[in-house]
Chains A and B, each alone.
Chain A
Amino acid sequence: METLKQIKKTMQESRSLYKEKDFINGAYIKNLKGRSMLSGFSPTTVERVIIQQLFNGLALGMAYSLIAVGYSMVFGILRLINFSHGAVYAFSAHMALFFIGMQFGIIPAIIISIIITGMLGIVIDKTALEPLRKKNSMPIASLITTIGMSNIIQNLLMIFFNTERKTFPAFFDFGMLNFGGVQINSTQIVMCVVSLALLIVLTLIINKTKLGLAMRATEQNSKAASLMGINVNFVISFTFFLGGASAAIAGALISGYYQIVYPGMGFMVGLKAFAAAVLGGIGVLYGSVVGGLVVGVSESFAATFLGSSYRDSVAFIILILVLIIRPTGLFGKKDIKKV
């Protein structure tokens, strides 16, 4: 009896395995219809595409997570979806482009853009959000304010830089690297490494410095933090600076990757990064990283296997599913109801 069951089981398993492979093959074949690559070993081609797309997704996902931490940190402290963050990201790319145009080197230009974008974050907070906090106004007022700020920034970009798509130098392209038959673009590796390094730096700032301690305290209870002598408004401004600066780095990376810059570029990327932040659990830094990777990888797979028009929405489908199962995201903490 036992053996019979076992045989049955293995048979079922192998059948399901077979189906799965077939399915992937089918989708792949459909996708690459008419291309010559399909000759020879099809399984390895599938694997290759999968691995390449995986790297594609990972690189993009790391850059998303740099934008996502901006949403996440601001949401953690202010409980506010900062809709201007996408526009801030677009702003950073244009600043980088502008300073690159001034001909004093790409890296200095990007550093300047990082600083300026960080400053823009502070300006948004000081001019638009801080007055609302002082008046204790409703959350939706702040939300609309950030939408208004996004409008202002994006349309100013259109006025000063035109609406057309401008090319951005591929400043960190060192050609293709070959890993055992899998070709990986060096830009992707640079994106991964730079993002990862910056996220580690951010984590260190938040967990090891005095300012980071103040940030965490403010996030937990801003009133108590202010009673302990923490300058809450400064902490919030600093958070906006960090958010803007990391968005600027992501801006430089993603622009260098796609080599295109235009004023409306921040909108979709912003929404997706935001989805990533929520997905991972907002207010949790490593959550943003995981969320960013999930969004990036699912996006590049969806683009390959379903068609490019699906790429922008997969993030939201995953987001909704995750939120319904875990209301505070993958790593978010649950609050206890206080009465």
Chain B
Amino acid sequence: MDKKMKKETSNNLILKFETFVDKYKLLLAAVCTVLLLVFPYMGVNQYILRIVIMIGIYSMLALGLNILTGYTGQVSLGHAGFYAVGAYTASLVALKLGANFFVATLAGAALSSLCGLLLGLPTLRLKGTYLSIVTLGFGEIVKMITMNWDKVTNGTLGLKNIPKPVIFGVKLTLSNNGLYYLMLVLVALTALICMLIIKSKIGRAFMSIKEDELAATMMGIKTTQYKILAFVISAFITGIAGAFYASMIGFIDPNSFTFDISTLIISIVIMGGMGTIRGMFLGSAILIVFPEVSRFMMDYRFVVYGIVLVLMMRFRPQGLLGWKSQLPYKFPKLARQELEKQDKSILNTL
């Protein structure tokens, strides 16, 4: 009983919070936008700006993995692989063909999603943990290729002097804040795309697969196709993040894309709240900033990081922002009009 009451009060709190946000959403969005736009002029140094851009990159990575793991329920332990494919392809296209950043990024994302497609194919036969194992293997194999294909990837020495993005003849760098604004645009676009996909039949198909794959199959959902689609979308987004990362840092090598990166992305998704978009930003903010602010702990900071993960899973496994919306269901505009015409009682009972 006590537990139920606790749940009820927390749901009420969520409802209150969500109603508040919903009521002032335009105002809040405007304030956030303005804050984000003027942020570089609030006296921050390059070090902080770089961290904020990294938060942006990891938000994209988390949004990408979230489509696959958070919504579709397929755990990937090899997202560093997609990240590497995106980064290497884009860098090589830019370095060897002299393509501009956007063409290179698209190439990176395209090849990454092709890998996603190939990796999605085993879903025909493999389920659950076994699929995760294949993704883990994929990440390791990508790393092997980047290490050994010397002619193309330059092996363990990595790729240097990756060009910065250029828009209308202006080179975007850290010091002219161009990279920061490009990051904002990319993150916003990614989040928008995720939102649009999730709030459609495709998103519902994804979620139904996560909730109960057999029931989804029995409703006529081609679960394999949708799982592959989730892989492709996820890999596409991750590839873009990789391309942007390479261009921003200017140097990549196989060690930038280790298994630790894969687990970091998963940790972000889970800490923020699987199956939410809001959580991805908070999750990456926390896990990217943590190693920086905890420098005073010296060697102990990664021990603390581990303890945080363990405690988090124990006491808030749904993630910091992983609650289910308590607001009433939002009918599409047309549906609402139609129902008002035909049968008001349904709307009234809500």
Contacts and interface: CB of A to CB of B under 8 A. Distances in A.
Q: Do A and B come together as binding partners?
A: yes
Contacts of B126: 323-324, 327
Contacts of A310: 144, 148
Interface stretch (B159-167, B305-313, B331-339, B340-348): B305-313
Contact of A155 (B132, B143, B306): B306
Given A159-B303, A278-B130, A323-B122, A147 B141 contact: no
Contacts of B259: 267, 271
B129 A79 contact: yes
Interface in B250-291: 259, 263, 266-267, 270, 274
Interface residues of A, number: 46
A156 interface: yes
Nearest to A159: B299
A132 interface: yes
Contact of A152 (B147, B270, B306): B306
B143 A313 contact: yes
B106 interface: no
Contact of B137 (A138, A142, A275, A328): A275
Contact of A324 (B75, B125, B127, B300): B125
Nearest to A83: B263
B245 interface: no
Candidate in A139, A145, A267, A274 with the most chain B CB atoms within 10 angstroms: A145
Contacts, number: 124
Interface string B225-246: 0000000000000000000000
A155 B263 CA distance: 16
Contacts of B148: 307, 309-310
Interface in A301-339: 307, 309-310, 312-313, 316-317, 319-320, 323-324, 327-328, 337, 339
Given A137-B313, A142-B313, A316 B141 contact: yes
Interface string A137-162: 11111111101111110011011000
Nearest to A313: B144
B63 to A, nearest CB: 17
Contacts of A320: 122, 134, 137-138, 141
Interface string B22-61: 0000000000000000000000000000000000000000
Contacts of B266: 140, 144, 147
A275 B70 CA distance: 25
Contacts of B313: 132, 137, 141-142, 144-145, 148
Interface in A76-107: 79, 81
Nearest to A337: B214
B178 interface: no
B302 A148 contact: no
B18 interface: no
A327 B122 CA distance: 9
Contact of A148 (B69, B133, B274, B309): B309
Given A152-B303, A337-B214, A138 B122 contact: no
Contact of A137 (B122, B300, B317): B317
Nearest to B274: A140
A149 B310 contact: yes
Contacts of B309: 144-145, 147-148, 151
B130 A323 contact: yes
B214 A147 contact: no
Contacts of B132: 81
Contacts of B300: 155, 159
B109 interface: no
Contacts of A267: 259
Given A152-B303, A159-B299, A159-B303, A319 B137 contact: yes
B330 interface: no
A72 B214 CA distance: 27
A237 to B, nearest CB: 18
A27 interface: no
A111 interface: no
A196 interface: no
B104 interface: no
Candidate in B75, B141, B307, B310 with the most chain A CB atoms within 10 angstroms: B310
Given A142-B313, A144-B267, A159-B303, 4 more contacts: A140-B69, A278-B130, A320-B137, A323-B126
Interface of A: 75, 79, 81, 128, 131-132, 135, 137-145, 147-152, 155-156, 158-159, 267, 271, 274-275, 278, 307, 309-310, 312-313, 316-317, 319-320, 323-324, 327-328, 337, 339
12 contacts: A139-B128, A144-B270, A144-B309, A148-B307, A149-B306, A149-B310, A151-B306, A152-B307, A159-B299, A307-B148, A316-B140, A320-B134
